[in-house]
Structure formats: C-alpha cells, structure tokens
Amino acid sequence: MTSHATGQAAGSPIENRVGMVFIPVRDMRRSIEWYSALLGLPVGDASHEDTIYDLPTTGEVGLALDANKPEFDTAGPPRFFWWATDLETCLAHLKVNDVKVESDIEDIGSVSFLQFRDPDGNLLMVCKRN
C-alpha cells in the first residue's frame, strides 16, 4: 500500500515520485539558451562549476541540464515529453526556431505527439491528450 501523503510504498524507503529529470548536454551555455528559447524562459546561469542548470518548471518534477559527462549516446526513445494543448502551434514554434523535427504529428489513440532533437541530438517529444 502507498501513502499518498509521502508517495512511499509500504516496505520501501523510496518514494514513488520523480524528483528530477537530467538531460545530458555538451555545451552548457548553448543548451541553456536553446531550452530557454524553446520554453519561453529567461536565460540564467549554471551552477556546480557550470555543469548543472535547473530549468524553471511548473509542477513537482524538475528538469536539469547536465554537462558532467559530455560523451553520451543519443540513440533510443525520447528522454521524456512535455504536455501541450495544440501540436500544430508547437510544430510551427519548432520550425520558426530551426529545431530539427524528427516526426510529423502522430495520433496513437489516447495521445498525439511529435518528436524533435535538441542541439546535442537528444530526442525529445511533446504530447497532447486526445
């Protein structure tokens, strides 16, 4: 049984809640500027000797750019996704900002999505509930 107050399941000291998602990056300044432009956020400064940048987010889960290991593999599924209400507007925003779009808008029933890459080649996604 899980306590909804703490998110902690009986028998486990680990809370069943995500605290932070880390995105590996190679060039911290470029990545801060890119993600800030993508999300309409002010550009800030990295911490931890310029290796970590916490992007301002709404909700409980944080999003951090992490330049601690500049050699990483970008193959595989999207690192995570953002929610949106209008994917056509998102697609136009990506194109105006010269973002490398990897897929058309796809409808898979419960959600529609599109995928794109950041400057380091990380696959990202934006989804809309159908």
Characterize the bridge pairing of strands 81-83 and 100-101: unpaired
Does the domain made of 18-71 have the CATH classification 3.30.720? yes
Q: Which CATH architecture has domain 73-130?
A: Roll (3.10)
Strand, helix or coil at 60? coil
Q: Return the pLDDT at 4.
A: 60
The pLDDT tens digits for 115-126 are 999 999 999 999
| pTM, 2 dp | 0.89
Whether residue 104 contacts residue 87, with contact meaning beta carbons closer than 8 Å, is answered with no
Whether residue 51 contacts residue 67, with contact meaning beta carbons closer than 8 Å, is answered with yes
Task: Give the other-Cβ count within 10 Å of 90's Cβ.
Answer: 20
Q: Return the pLDDT at 130.
A: 97
Strand, helix or coil at 58? coil
The pLDDT tens digits for 75-109 are 999 999 999 999 999 999 999 999 999 999 999 99
H-only helix segments in 18-130: 28-39, 87-96
Question: Domains of the chain: which residue ranges?
Answer: 18-71, 73-130
